[in-house]
């Protein structure tokens, strides 16, 4: 359930070529009106500059697809419309589900590796970082009955989520998600790994649904680095999620929005993700009032 193939690329064109090679073209080519769900459980984020950039991108989606924006709270909707066999609190219903499914599978999927390693190294177990060791320990503690019940609950949640977001097939529906709050993470500071994870976390939404998603770089935020003592930049991205099997439709829609809004489809190496000459051209065009450009993109 949690095995998710990923493609990393600096160009949307590369991702589209991979998708066309990897995934059969859809048989149903009819165009449907677009709508975009705005999950109130994850948006807005606490970072105001990040949200300005995300909001600007949402406006471009609304204008250039065009798409209808639909705010939705998963928690509130579950409370009102939850399946009859489930409690009305989605967090309570899914409590411990990640440990009993994902961690459990993580432990047993590596069992053969650990066995072979021990056989070849006089019984010694492979070294793994404390974070992985802790997950293995938690996964190993799950009984078969606990795993079965947690899987059942996760499938109930998946079916309910799918109906909430993608149940109306008269629309081409997407969901927009933040990936994380944008802030500096310094290499000389220890980053604590989470002790527990909730199935309600936004990063679990696509794999639980079995959905395709694409993370789109949409801007940058400024900060003063404690290392360089200069103004530096951090990328801002938005994660766009589509219904399962709608890979080509999602990539085409993202391409359309980026093209029509004048946003870059390519990111670059170095300290800035967008090409400096392209940024300068957009800035000059904006100053001359010859082109409507979002200043957050410059």
pLDDT tens digits for 190-242?
877 777 889 999 999 999 999 999 999 999 999 999 999 999 999 999 999 99
Q: Which domain holds residue 28?
A: 12-182+195-297
Q: What percent of the chain has pLDDT over 90?
A: 81
> What pLDDT is recorded for position 1?
66
Instruction: Count how many domains the chain has.
Output: 1
Decide if 275 contacts 268 (C-beta within 8 A): yes
Whether residue 126 lies inside any domain: the answer is yes
Lay out the sheet containing 231-242: strands in order across: 67-72, 34-39, 172-177, 231-242, 213-224
Q: What percent of the chain has pLDDT over 70?
A: 92
pLDDT greater than 90 at residue 286 = no
Whether residue 187 lies inside any domain: the answer is no
Whether residue 4 lies inside any domain: the answer is no
Whether residue 225 lies inside any domain: the answer is yes
Whether residue 3 lies inside any domain: the answer is no
Whether residue 158 lies inside any domain: the answer is yes
296 pLDDT band, cuts 50/70/90, is: very low
Which residues, at least 6 apart from 227, have a Cβ–Cβ distance to it below 8 Å? 186
**What is the reported pTM?**
0.86
Q: Which residue has the higher pLDDT, 179 or 289?
A: 179
Whether residue 238 lies inside any domain: the answer is yes
Whether residue 2 lies inside any domain: the answer is no
């Amino acid at each position: 359930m949690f095995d998710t193939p990923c493609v990393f690329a600096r160009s949307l064109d590369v991702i589209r070529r991979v998708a066309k090679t990897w995934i059969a073209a859809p048989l149903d080519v009819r165009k449907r009106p677009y709508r975009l769900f705005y999950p109130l459980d994850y948006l807005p984020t606490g970072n105001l500059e990040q949200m300005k950039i995300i909001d600007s991108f949402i406006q471009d989606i609304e204008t250039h697809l065009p798409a209808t924006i639909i705010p939705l709270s998963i928690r509130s909707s579950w409370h009102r419309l939850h399946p009859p066999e489930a409690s009305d609190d989605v967090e309570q219903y899914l409590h411990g589900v990640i440990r009993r499914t994902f961690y459990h599978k993580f432990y047993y999927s590596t069992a053969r590796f650990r066995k072979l390693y021990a056989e070849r190294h006089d019984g010694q177990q492979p070294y793994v970082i404390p974070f992985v060791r802790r997950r293995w320990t938690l996964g190993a503690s799950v009984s078969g009955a606990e795993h079965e019940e947690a899987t059942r609950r996760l499938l109930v949640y998946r079916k309910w989520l799918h109906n909430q977001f993608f149940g109306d097939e008269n629309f081409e529906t997407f969901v927009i998600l933040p990936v994380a709050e944008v802030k500096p993470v310094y290499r000389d500071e220890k980053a604590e790994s989470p002790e527990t994870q909730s199935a309600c976390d936004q990063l679990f939404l696509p794999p639980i649904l079995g959905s395709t998603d694409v993370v789109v770089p949409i801007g940058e935020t400024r900060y003063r680095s404690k290392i360089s003592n200069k103004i530096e930049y951090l990328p801002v991205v938005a994660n766009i999620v589509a219904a399962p099997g709608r890979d080509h439709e999602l990539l085409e829609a993202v391409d359309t929005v980026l093209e029509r809004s004048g946003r870059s489809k390519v990111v670059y190496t170095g300290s800035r993700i967008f090409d400096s000459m392209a940024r300068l051209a957009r800035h000059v065009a904006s100053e001359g009032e010859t082109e409507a450009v979002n200043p957050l993109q410059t």
